[in-house]
Amino acid sequence: MSLRTRAILVVVIGVVMGFSLSLGGKLLAGKPAPAAADLALEQARLLAEVMARVDHDYVEPIDESTLLESAIRGMVADLDAYSEYLDADEYRDIRVSTAGSYTGVGVEVGEIDGEVRVITPMSGSPAARSGIRSGDTIIAVDGAAIEPGSLQDTSRRLRGRPGSKVSITVLRDGQAIVHEMRREIVRVASVYAELLEPAFGYARVSQFNETTARELGQAIDELVEQHGGMLEGLVLDLRNNPGGVLDAAVDVADLFLDSGIIVTADGRSEEARFSRSAHRGDVLDGAGLMVLVNNGSASASEIVAGALHDQARALIVGTTTFGKGLVQTVMPLSRGRAIKLTTSRYYTPSGESIHETGITPDVFIDDTPGFPDLSLSATVDRNADTQLLAAIDHLKQRGVMHSRAP
């Protein structure tokens, strides 16, 4: 074992011992403190043994700091499916993604059958200008091949400093095509809206970031202006929306509510226990509201759907949602690192937890292949979207309810 490895292990054992003594002090009244301290020390010794074996016998040399970071990453990841350790680059990425903009090439990617494919290049982005198309398979970035199942790594490699060059190789119709471009600051739109029929609006929210509520409010104002008066109803599409910033979900729900609880949360710490309520003011002035959901609607999407349902403000249409009722808090650490830790369970206004059960729609309509359109565009045939058509039918049946209806 190298001297450096020994030094690292001394520090680790010291930290574990300190934690054990702290734990022992808290549990002394219950008498299990010595056993807890002994177990923690034994586990620290086990860590030392494993690190020593890897350091000495693994087929390739591995830096001790890399080993220790892997141990930390594994410790946090083993808590649940949503907690994770973030190195400096990962923490920077997550801060950027929640802010509604990032530095990159402006391409939305997804994983299909193990391949990283282009869902859509954003309008006016470096990717769009270079000729990258929806459906292209990304096979290399800067000449380095894309491994199967490496969506997150690929997304990270596409980002970088503004003005920096990047080469993207895509496979299209069996031919490899290389695209050279420079990264730029890309604004990520999370809302797409359009007017359907004479007086019904449609708004799709693809994710929840810091600008989503403002985007949605502005989009609805524009629909009202296009119509020349108050809307008779709105379809809010949250299908395949994986969630995002909790406060953004609260603000979106608040757009349509005059009062009442939106969400409550319960956790071990005081900060993890909270309640959020609506403020007076309904952007639709009481007009009909339908919320489209499916199994891809998770977390923040379920907060919005649950609040609007439980407050009898909207009818939920589609299929049962994903069922993620846990809140993650990103906690900064030293040297630009952080951990994303599950700190709370959240509950809908009725007091129900939807974790691992999801929200059951009021009107069950099975998914239509190809919907919703992930590109946030108007290039699809809305008449083929059976869930959307069902929502519009229910809006028509409800009639006009807002106070300024003719």
Question: Which residues are identified as catalytic?
Answer: 299, 310, 324
Contact 347, 266 (CB under 8 A): yes
Residue type, 265: A
Query: What is the per-residue DSSP string for 322-368?
Result: ----EEEEEEE-GGG-EEEEEEEEEE-TTS---TTT-PPPSEE-PPP
**Tokens 């807890």 belong to which residue?**
36
**CA 125/CA 82 separation, integer angstroms:** 31
Cα separation, 296 vs 293, whole angstroms:
8
Q: What is the DSSP string of 143-175?
A: TEEPPTT-HHHHHHHH--STT-EEEEEEEETTE
Q: How far apart are CA 138 and CA 156, in angstroms?
A: 13
| 372 prior amide bond cis, ω within 30 | yes
Distance CA 87, CA 107 (A): 24
Spatial distance between the Cα atoms of 311 and 305, rounded to a whole number of angstroms: 10
Beta bridge partners of 387: none
